[in-house]
Homo-oligomer: A and B are copies of this chain.
Amino acid sequence: MPFANTEIPGKFQAFLAQRGIRMTEQRRAILNVIETAKKHLDAGQILRRARKLDPSIDRSTVYRTLGLLKRHGLIDELDLMHLDGEAHYYERKLNRDHIHLACLRCGRITEFVSDLFESLKEQVEKECGYRIAVARLEIGGYCSKCRT
């Protein structure tokens, strides 16, 4: 469940328009689904929801759109420890990065923001000489309720 939506929906569309990327009926539907999602969705779930807005949308269009959004840094792709199958999960990128914790017993997903994480990324950029585009910290473990 990505963080409270403090963003105005429609941001994606504005961003892409500014870069001269063509807006289609299908893209509008997919962007809408992702922007308003209250949890992490995989490609199949995105497809099903988008089809409620535009029933003609094809699976491959979803994948192509996810590729587009990834390339432009608008969404992040997650494994969430592949607790159920091999699909990847997507969420819109917000101002601030966050960490994902997945409980290996109950499957609960927790999000966490940390200044230490920001410092760590800075350290990596400096000491490894990388310019970071995506930073994914995913943790598998046992939540307070499931700890033995």
Binding site for B on A (CB under 8 A): 79, 81, 86, 99, 101, 103-104, 110, 112, 114, 116-117, 119-121, 123-124, 127-144, 147
Contacts and interface: CB of A to CB of B under 8 A. Distances in A.
B124 A133 contact: no
Residue picked from A81, A117, A131, A147, most chain B C-beta under 10 Å: A131
Contacts of A136: 79, 136-140
Contacts of A79: 79, 136
A133 B141 contact: yes
A144 B131 CA distance: 8
A124 B22 CA distance: 42
Nearest to A119: B116
B134 A140 contact: yes
A75 to B, nearest CB: 13
